[in-house]
């Protein structure tokens, strides 16, 4: 009995504990979704297809609508305005404690049947009360229902619609609008995001050429609060696109508001920089390396607390493998390049997070942050939701029906084709119908299209540009069809609540519970203007414990919506801030010191002083100066046109564009360094001889022209024949010709000592497509020998290539690979190598790196190079592109910095879930096939979709009949486990660029800082740049030749690592160092010119850059 009682008591205790733990877990959720029964916000954007209004007629039919945050009566409580598509707009008055009252009708907000989309809140007439502007669209045959609405606040909880009176009742399908003071006259001007009636109406783009069709963006100047006048053409913004959203923000820190317009349907995003004279300049191609394809929402904020505004734009690619494969057909290369050639720029169907580089340019780091894919996204908000001092992100998504589901599209097409075919058979004369909709049952068509509500995304900023998904942990994971969203402190408790407009469901009101959690202090600042309201364009910076945060007030954020206009700062555990600087667009500033946390301050500009420092970009350019425009070598390194994908459809990237080769040497013994710059296939390499005045003279050598048909991948100067003059060895590579072709023959040019060169034979040379040549007297006999890295087997990627050892025998180069380095045969896809006495035995060993290769060590055993298995290097397979040596920890041996693909790429990998590749003739047609694999969740799937996979292996179409089926299959289910097991298989363990420490008897791998991981590292220079006695490293690279479904890796601008002598490094990004190389960098070479150190940058298919190292 006692035992039984004890067991029951234990059971009760256990259950109670479980309930308590569960309750506590629920209580600690950052957000609570409040039901309409509690808040009285009962708005539902009800949407159903009908015969006359449906997704088949209107591309934007499922686009949803927005929400606006407004303080109607200036009582300090934020009210809510919801836009409805087929339903009436609604206005809710905040009565405190998260209770609202619907006041739509009594406030004078009427419903005329128009389709509302966007909500914009601003004080249009400077009377101190916020007004409402509603953007409307659709209804091609009812322009009166497309007129935008301007509700002027009557200051008594009522509004009067006065759009026509103010001149802004535009009826050309406005998606959204923003107010901003572009001319700094103190009155808010208006930009309308006007769309064409259908996605094809924008025609083509021609760079910055203005387009004057009626569908262009429309800019209206505010005439002192009484009316508006259109100034689109004069201002330079009358370009036609398919705009969904806009951010009006100061992107270049000059104190004037610029514009980022997010465009849908292949139209390029528009970045307009304010010229400070009432006009704007189109800067998309100058400032951005690539952009999304279907841009939806946009927000701008300082994500990394460097006082620069970054830009987050969302697209519609799914993160889940099944939805990714079933809803998106493969992109067409011809279509992709047509968009580029038509002026649409480089567009990829991924979100972009454009990090501000501080010099007017941006780098997309979306892949690194894990925020590149959030399904069919709409709103994206950047704010500090957990008050820890770091800005997080929230993304809404979901489409009422999956209109891009490939199988459903085929079913719909088949249904319509059969319907029309049967009708024509019965009614040869047409039967009197005017359109297909006279006989089409829309309900039947719509039912063929799947409908799946999705969970919205939330990403917590953990610092250093790292983010983690937290929608479930934060309580934001309800499945829905969510569109417009806003953040706002609805209950004035010091944290940001979230409001979401949903299709066919109640609006979400999320209460933020940060005020109940420890270390969630805050400070809220409202910069006031003459109307006693927040001033759009004002900036607020807070400084605490050496750190800074910055917020700029802007009108609209995300899509269709207006968030609160208060600068909100999370402070974490800090209970005060050292100082606050408030800056107004008129140049005035106020500085507050020792400000207590956990309050909202309204700061007026009445007593503000003139300020001039807040808008500094903060670029210091401490080490380098760009002298490209003055440097005497004016050369663009052209690239021949060759399509690698015609031979291998599923290549991950092109293999024919890895030049130019660059090498320096003193060819005439005048004490001046000369430079060889190689040519692509069809272009000869050239030597530029330095003159005493710092100019360069091109050597007119016919021997190089004779070999112009070959592709130069690398080169090195060395005195091969020991005559005191430097000779030249050039590696041939590329992918243009079949394997074994003389196209791949490496070349040795002997210096004739008279200013020219003579081509000499390399005995027993192989015709391998090479990548790298490095010279050293590895035998210790006084002669210079060479390692030549084999890059690829042409047209058979990823079959390994054979590398070569060229031994110098009295001035003759002979390939002695089989005799002295037999393990070089089929070594791998080598990209770089370095000679180093790793084992400190007095001779040079060899470290080799490459694509899909582990870091490979060859020990020199009396002239024979033997591969050694090193445990510390066993799990280092990657996409290595470069290696350089130096004693970074000052312990007497040489360490290494090794450049990898980086972590800012679509391809991600870990030891547990590696990115991998299989190669075999899977369909037995006599030709090898590529299969790339990746992990999504716990499943291992083919990387590429059904369209391109079946293009490579047509027999897949016989075995797999639907995209949905392919989307559900793992890689071994598609290709067969046995077939995969017999194939060539490589995995990648890491894509991180590393510092490899030589510990004397082993190696230790160290991941380099975040800034280094944002792009591939193709070349490295090691020297003491800051003259502190410790070795530093300059790293650069990009990869522009990805297959077109993968965004090109173009975020690299160059990183300077300042060594401290212990193996640790301080990062200097471009804005600090002054070294800015954002092209497809393949080589960086130091060159002495008139006592100055110059860094030459070899960019593929672009001009050579030059940077001078400051003394």
Q: 936 lies in which domain range?
A: 915-987
Q: Which of 969, 987, 1005 is where one domain is finished?
A: 987
Say which residue the tokens 């870990």 belong to. 910
552 or 329, greater pLDDT: 552
Residues 540 and 684 reside in one and the same domain = no
> Is residue 519 assigned to a domain?
yes
What does the alpha-carbon distance between residue 414 and residue 423 come to, in Å, rounded to a whole number? 14
- Predicted confidence (pLDDT) per residue in 479-530, tens digit: 999 999 999 999 999 999 999 999 999 999 999 999 998 899 999 999 999 8
> Is residue 845 assigned to a domain?
yes
- Predicted confidence (pLDDT) per residue in 46-70, tens digit: 999 999 899 998 999 999 999 999 9
Residues in the chain: 1111
> Is residue 503 assigned to a domain?
yes
Beta carbons within 10 angstroms of residue 60's beta carbon: 20
pLDDT at residue 745 greater than cutoff 60: yes
pLDDT at 906: 98
pLDDT at 612: 63
Least confident of 114-118, 341-345, 863-867: 341-345
pLDDT at 517: 87
Residues 649 and 798 reside in one and the same domain = yes
- Predicted confidence (pLDDT) per residue in 710-734, tens digit: 999 999 999 999 999 999 999 999 9
Check: CB of residue 1078 under 8 Å from CB of residue 361.
yes
Where residue 327 sits, what CATH number does that domain have? Answer: 2.130.10.10
What does the alpha-carbon distance between residue 346 and residue 1042 come to, in Å, rounded to a whole number? 12
pLDDT at 27: 53
Among 138, 148, 175, 147, CA closest to 58: 138
Encoded tokens for 352: 């972009």
Q: Which of 942, 960, 987 is where one domain is finished?
A: 987
Residues 944 and 1006 reside in one and the same domain = no
- Predicted confidence (pLDDT) per residue in 568-596, tens digit: 999 999 999 999 999 999 999 999 999 99
pLDDT at 18: 36
Residues 983 and 994 reside in one and the same domain = no
> Is residue 115 assigned to a domain?
yes
pLDDT at 207: 41
pLDDT at residue 19 greater than cutoff 80: no
Residues 259 and 396 reside in one and the same domain = yes
Q: Indicate the pairing of strand 291-292 with strand 347-348.
A: parallel
> Is residue 443 assigned to a domain?
no
Residues 139 and 269 reside in one and the same domain = yes
Q: What is the mean pLDDT of residues 706-710?
A: 96
Residues 333 and 365 reside in one and the same domain = yes
pLDDT at 1111: 76
Q: Specify the DSSP element, H or E, that contains 957.
A: helix 956-959
pLDDT at 3: 33
Least confident of 424-433, 1023-1032, 1039-1048: 424-433
Least confident of 314-318, 363-367, 433-437: 433-437
Q: Which of 584, 610, 636 is where one domain is finished?
A: 610
Q: Specify the DSSP element, H or E, that contains 817.
A: helix 817-820
pLDDT at 14: 38
Residues 246 and 228 reside in one and the same domain = yes
pLDDT at 24: 42
pLDDT at 211: 47
910 or 339, greater pLDDT: 910
CA angle 936/938/943 to nearest 5° reads 30
pLDDT at residue 17 greater than cutoff 80: no
Residues 998 and 927 reside in one and the same domain = no
Beta carbons within 10 angstroms of residue 866's beta carbon: 14
Of the pLDDT bands very low, low, confident and very high (cuts 50, 70, 90), residue 11 is very low
Where residue 593 sits, what CATH number does that domain have? Answer: 2.60.40.10
Average pLDDT, the chain: 94
What does the alpha-carbon distance between residue 84 and residue 64 come to, in Å, rounded to a whole number? 8
What does the alpha-carbon distance between residue 482 and residue 496 come to, in Å, rounded to a whole number? 19
Check: CB of residue 398 under 8 Å from CB of residue 454.
yes
pLDDT at residue 331 greater than cutoff 80: no
> Is residue 435 assigned to a domain?
no
Residues 282 and 380 reside in one and the same domain = yes
Q: What is the mean pLDDT of residues 160-173?
A: 97
pLDDT at residue 1006 greater than cutoff 50: yes
Among 704, 864, 678, CA closest to 771: 678
Residues 705 and 793 reside in one and the same domain = yes
What's the number of domains the chain is made of? Answer: 4
> Is residue 412 assigned to a domain?
no
Q: What is the mean pLDDT of residues 658-686?
A: 97
Q: What is the mean pLDDT of residues 254-260?
A: 97
Q: How many CA atoms lie within 13 A of 190 on its CB side?
A: 32
Q: What is the mean pLDDT of residues 755-769?
A: 96
pLDDT at residue 616 greater than cutoff 90: no
- Predicted confidence (pLDDT) per residue in 124-147, tens digit: 999 999 999 999 999 988 999 999
Predicted TM-score of the model (pTM): 0.95
Residues 647 and 600 reside in one and the same domain = no
> Is residue 420 assigned to a domain?
no
Of the pLDDT bands very low, low, confident and very high (cuts 50, 70, 90), residue 609 is confident
pLDDT at 41: 99
Encoded tokens for 557: 């954020």
Strand partners, 807: 814
Instruction: Give percent of the chain above pLDDT 70.
Output: 95
pLDDT at 200: 46
What does the alpha-carbon distance between residue 765 and residue 746 come to, in Å, rounded to a whole number? 7
What does the alpha-carbon distance between residue 494 and residue 511 come to, in Å, rounded to a whole number? 11
């Amino acid at each position: 009995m006692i035992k039984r009682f004890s067991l029951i008591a234990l059971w009760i205790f256990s259950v109670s504990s479980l309930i308590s733990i569960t309750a506590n877990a629920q209580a600690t959720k950052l957000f609570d979704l409040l039901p309409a029964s509690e808040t009285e916000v009962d708005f539902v954007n009800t949407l159903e297809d009908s015969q006359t209004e449906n997704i088949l007629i209107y591309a934007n039919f499922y686009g949803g609508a927005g929400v606006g945050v407004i303080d109607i009566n200036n009582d300090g409580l934020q009210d809510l305005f919801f836009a409805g598509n087929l339903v009436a707009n609604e206005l809710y008055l905040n009565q405190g404690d998260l209770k609202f009252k619907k006041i739509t009708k009594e406030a004078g907000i009427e419903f005329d049947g128009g389709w509302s989309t966007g909500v914009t809140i601003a004080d249009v007439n400077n009377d101190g009360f916020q007004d409402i502007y509603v953007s409307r669209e659709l209804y091609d045959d009812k322009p009166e229902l497309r007129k935008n609405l301007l509700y002027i606040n009557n200051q008594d909880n009522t509004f009067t619609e006065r759009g026509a009176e103010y001149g802004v009742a535009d009826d050309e399908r406005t998606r959204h609008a923003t107010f901003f003071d572009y001319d700094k006259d103190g009155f808010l001007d208006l930009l309308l995001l006007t769309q064409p009636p259908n996605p094809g109406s924008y025609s083509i783009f021609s760079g910055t050429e203005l387009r004057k069709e009626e569908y262009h963006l429309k800019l209206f100047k505010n005439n002192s609060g009484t009316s508006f006048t259109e100034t689109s053409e004069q201002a330079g913004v009358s370009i036609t696109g398919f705009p969904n959203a806009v951010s009006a923000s100061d992107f270049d820190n000059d104190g004037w508001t610029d514009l980022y317009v997010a465009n849908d349907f292949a139209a390029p995003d528009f970045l307009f920089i304010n010229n400070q004279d009432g006009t704007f300049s189109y800067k998309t191609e100058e400032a951005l390396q690539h952009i999304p394809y279907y841009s939806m929402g946009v927000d701008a904020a300082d994500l990394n607390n460097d006082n620069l505004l970054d830009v987050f734009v969302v697209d519609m690619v799914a993160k889940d493998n099944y939805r990714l494969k079933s809803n998106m057909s493969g992109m067409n290369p011809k279509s992709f390049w047509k968009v580029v050639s038509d002026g649409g720029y480089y567009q990829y169907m991924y979100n972009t997070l454009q990090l501000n580089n501080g010099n007017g340019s941006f780098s997309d780091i979306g892949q690194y942050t894990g925020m590149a894919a959030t399904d069919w996204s709409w709103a994206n908000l950047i704010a500090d939701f957990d008050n820890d001092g770091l800005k997080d992100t929230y993304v809404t998504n979901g489409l009422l029906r999956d209109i891009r589901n490939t199988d459903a599209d085929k079913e719909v097409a088949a249904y319509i084709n059969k319907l029309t075919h049967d009708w024509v058979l019965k009614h040869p004369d047409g039967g009197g119908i005017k359109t297909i909709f006279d006989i089409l049952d829309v309900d039947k068509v719509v039912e063929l299209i799947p409908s799946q509500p999705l969970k919205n995304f939330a990403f917590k900023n953990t610092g250093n540009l790292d983010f983690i998904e937290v929608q479930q942990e934060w309580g934001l994971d309800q499945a829905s069809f969510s569109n417009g969203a806003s953040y706002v402190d609805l209950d004035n408790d010091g944290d940001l609540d979230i409001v979401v407009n949903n299709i066919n469901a109640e609006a979400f009101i999320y209460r933020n519970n940060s005020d109940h959690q420890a270390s969630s202090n805050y400070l809220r600042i409202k910069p006031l203007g003459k109307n006693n309201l927040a001033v759009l364009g004002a900036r607020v910076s807070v400084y605490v414990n050496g750190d800074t945060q910055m917020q700029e007030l802007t009108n609209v954020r995300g899509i269709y919506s207006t968030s609160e206009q208060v600068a909100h700062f999370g402070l974490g555990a800090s209970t005060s801030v050292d100082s606050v600087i408030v800056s107004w667009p008129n140049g005035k500033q106020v500085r507050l010191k020792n400000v207590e946390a956990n309050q909202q301050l309204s700061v007026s500009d009445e007593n503000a002083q003139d300020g001039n420092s807040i808008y500094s970009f903060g670029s210091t350019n401490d080490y380098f100066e760009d002298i490209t425009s003055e440097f005497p070598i004016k050369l663009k390194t052209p690239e021949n046109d060759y399509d690698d994908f015609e031979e291998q459809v599923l290549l991950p990237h092109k293999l024919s564009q890895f030049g130019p080769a660059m090498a320096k040497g003193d060819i005439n013994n005048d004490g001046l360094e000369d430079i060889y710059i190689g040519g692509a296939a069809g272009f000869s390499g050239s030597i530029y001889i330095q003159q005493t005045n710092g100019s360069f003279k091109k050597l007119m050598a016919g021997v190089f022209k004779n070999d112009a048909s070959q592709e130069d991948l690398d080169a090195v100067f060395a005195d091969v024949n020991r005559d005191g003059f430097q000779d030249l060895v050039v590696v041939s590579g590329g992918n243009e010709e079949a394997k074994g072709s003389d196209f791949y023959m490496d070349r040795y040019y002997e210096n004739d000592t008279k200013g020219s060169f003579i081509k000499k034979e390399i005995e027993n040379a192989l015709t391998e497509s090479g990548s790298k040549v490095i010279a050293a007297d590895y035998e210790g006999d006084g002669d210079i020998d060479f390692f030549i890295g084999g890059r690829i087997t042409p047209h058979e990627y990823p079959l390994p290539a054979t590398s070569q050892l060229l031994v110098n025998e009295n001035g003759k180069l002979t390939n002695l690979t089989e005799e002295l380095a037999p393990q070089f045969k089929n070594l791998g896809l080598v990209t770089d190598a370095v000679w180093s006495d790793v084992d400190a035995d007095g001779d040079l060993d060899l470290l080799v790196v490459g694509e899909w290769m582990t870091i490979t060590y060859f020990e020199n055993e009396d002239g024979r190079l033997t591969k050694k298995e090193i445990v510390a290097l066993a799990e280092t397979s990657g996409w290595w592109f470069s290696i350089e040596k130096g004693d970074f920890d000052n312990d007497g041996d040489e360490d290494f910095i090794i450049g990898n693909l980086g972590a800012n790429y679509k391809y991600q990998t870990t030891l547990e879930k590696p990115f991998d590749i299989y190669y075999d003739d899977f369909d037995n047609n006599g030709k090898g096939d590529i299969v790339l694999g990746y992990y999504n969740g716990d499943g291992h799937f083919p990387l590429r979709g059904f369209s391109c996979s079946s293009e490579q292996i047509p027999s897949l179409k016989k075995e797999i009949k639907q995209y949905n089926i392919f989307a559900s299959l793992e890689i071994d289910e598609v290709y067969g486990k046995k077939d995969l097991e017999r194939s060539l298989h490589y995995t990648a363990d890491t894509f991180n660029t590393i510092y490899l420490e030589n510990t004397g008897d082993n190696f230790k791998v160290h991941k380099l800082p975040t800034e280094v991981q944002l792009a591939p590292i193709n070349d490295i220079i090691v020297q003491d740049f800051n003259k502190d006695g410790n070795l530093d490293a300059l790293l650069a690279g990009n990869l522009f030749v990805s297959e077109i479904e993968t965004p090109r890796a173009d975020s690299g601008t160059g990183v300077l690592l300042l060594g401290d002598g212990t193996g640790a490094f301080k990062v200097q990004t471009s804005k600090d160092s002054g070294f800015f190389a954002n092209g497809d960098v393949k080589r960086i070479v130091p060159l002495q010119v008139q006592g100055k150190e110059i860094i030459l940058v070899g960019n593929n298919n672009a001009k050579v850059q030059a940077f001078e190292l400051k003394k």
